[in-house]
Amino acid sequence: MLDSKLLRTATEQVAQGLAKRGYVLDVAKIQALEETRKAIQIKTENLQSERNSISKGIGKAKQAGEDVAPMMQAVENIKQELVSAEAELTKIQAEWDDFVKAIPNVPADEVPEGKSDEDNIEIRRWGMPRSFHFPIKDHVDLGAELGGLDFEVATKITGTRFAVLRGGVARLHRALAQFMLDTHINQHGYEEVNVPFIVNRDSLFGTGQLPKFEEDLFKLTDDREFYLIPTAEVPVTNIYRDDIVDESQLPIKLVCHSPCFRSEAGSYGRDTRGMIRQHQFEKVELVKFVRPEESDAALEALVGHAETILQQLGLPHRTVILCGGDIGFSAAKTYDIEVWVPSQDKYREISSCSSFRDFQARRMMARFRNKETGKPELLHTLNGSGLAIGRTLLAVLENYQQEDGSVIVPEVLRPYMGGLELLIPAKK
C-alpha cells in the first residue's frame, strides 16, 4: 500500500510514476477526498474547542452561582454535532482507505517503459541451447514414455490442469525440491520454514492478492474466509505481520517448499498442454526482510540465488527486467528468469524475483526498530521463486532427453536419486 501522506503531498509525482505501468491515478478523487476530509477535520476540531471552552465556563459559572442550564444544553448540542462529524470523518477515512488499497505500487525509476512482456529487456543469458540431431519430444510425451507423467488419470481424479507423477519422474521432482532447499540453505544462508497452506483474508491482503485478485484464488466454502495459498510468499511474508523486529535480526532470509494453488482465471486456452500452467504445482520460495537501504542489493542477490540453481543443473536461461506494463500489482521492480524449453524453441518463465520496497510492509505493519532512533520503521520485503519445481522438471526432461526417449539425470541430482544416472522409458 502506498504512503497516504505521499499521495496527498506529491500526487502528481505519484501519478507520473504509476503512468509507467499504465495506471491512471484519479487525481481529482484524491483532491476531492482530501478537501472533504480537511473540512470535516476542521469542523470537528472547532466543535471540540468550543465544547472545551464552554465546559470550562460551566465550572466558573457554578462558582459564581449562575444558571448553567443553557451552557449544559449547549455542550449537549455540540456533543451531538461531534458524534455526527466524527461519523462523517470515519466514513471519509474508510472511503480513502478503500481507494488507496486498490492503487498498485509505484515502479522503481530503473523499470523500463513498456506495455507488455514483449517490452521486457534482457539483462543477461547463461548457457547455449543444445542442438538436437533427432526430433525433439516435449515433456508430455517424454513423461508418458517414462511411465511417470499422466494427465488423463489426474483429469479423472480432479479435472484438467492437474498431473499425476510416478516412479522415476516423481522421484526426480522430489530430488529437485531437496536440491533447491539444500542449495539455498547451505550455500545462500536461508532459514527453512514450513508454513500453513491455508491462509486467512488478512494474510492475502498483506501481500497484495486481496482485494483485487480474488478471482485468481481458491476459496474454501465455509464462513471463515480461508483460502488455499497461491504461493508460499503469502504465509511466509505474513510471519512478520503486525510485528516489530529488532534491527540486529536483519536481514531475515527464509526459504519454503510448498504446493501452490491458482485458479488461472483469465488464462483459459493458454498453455493447456503439459505442466506450464497448472492449478496445483510446487515451488521453492525465497523471501527476504531487509533494511530499506539494502533492498536494491538484496534483490540482485536473490536473483543470483535463483540463477545458481539453473546453472548447477546446466539449464540454459536468460534474465529479463520487467517493463512497467508487465510488473505485478505489489512490485516496485521485478526480474524474470526464463529457462530454455526445447520443444517450444523459446525461453519460458521459471522464476519471478521482486522487490516490493515498503508496499507490503505498510499493508501488514511489518516493521523493525531502528537502533539509532529507537523508532519503528517499515521493513522492505522481497521474494522470488527458487525455483518453480514443475517447470524445472519439464526443463530437465526436455533438455536432457536422448534419442531413445531416455533422460539423463543431471549430475547434481544423482545423490538425491540414489546414484541413478538415467531415466529409461517404461517397457510397453
Phi and psi at 41, nearest 5°, equal -60, -45
Output phi, psi for 382, to 5 deg.
-145, 155
Side-chain-side CA neighbours of 217 within 13 Å: the count stands at 26
**All three cell numbers of 385:** 521463486
Residue 113 assigned ligand-binding role: no
Start-to-end CA distance of the chain, whole Å, equals: 57
Total Cβ atoms within 10 A of residue 4: 16
User: Residue 188 and residue 312: Cα distance in Å, rounded?
Assistant: 14
Judge whether 233 is annotated as a binding position: yes
Q: Are 176 and 390 in contact, with CB atoms under 8 Å apart? A: no
53's grid cell: 471552552
Helix or strand holding residue 389 (H, E): helix 389-399
For 326, the grid coordinates are 508487465
Q: At what angle do helices 27-63 and 69-101 cross, to 10 degrees?
A: 160
Question: Is 264 marked within a binding site?
Answer: yes
d(CA 397, CA 390): 11
Confirm if 339 and 318 have CB atoms less than 8 A apart: no
Q: Which residues contact 385 (CB under 8 A, 6 or more apart)?
A: 283, 284, 285, 286, 306, 350, 351, 352, 353
Q: Is residue 398 part of an annotated ligand binding site?
A: no
Does 248 belong to an annotated binding site? no
Consult the annotation and say whether 352 binds a ligand. yes
Find out whether 377 is annotated in a ligand binding site. Answer: no
**Is 155 annotated as contributing to ligand binding?**
no
Q: Angle at CA 164, nearest 5°, toward 145 and 136?
A: 35
Q: Is 385 annotated as a binding residue?
A: yes
Residue type, 21: R
| E-state strands within 76-223 | 121-126, 149-150, 164-165, 191-192, 198-200, 218-219
349 is in an annotated binding site: yes
Say whether 285 counts as a known binding-site residue. Answer: yes
Q: 242: phi > 0 → left, psi -120 to 50 → alpha, else beta; which?
A: left
Beta strands in 333-421 (DSSP E): 333-341, 346-357, 367-369, 376-378, 380-388, 407-408
Three cell numbers, residue 301: 542477490
**For the chain, counts of helices (H) and of strands (E):** 12, 18
Nearest-CA neighbor of 390 among 165, 215, 179, 190? 165
Amino acid at 182: D
Count the residues in the chain. 428
Binding residues for L-serine: 231-233, 262, 285, 383, 385
Binding residues for ATP: 262-264, 349-352
Binding residues: 231-233, 262-264, 285, 349-352, 383, 385
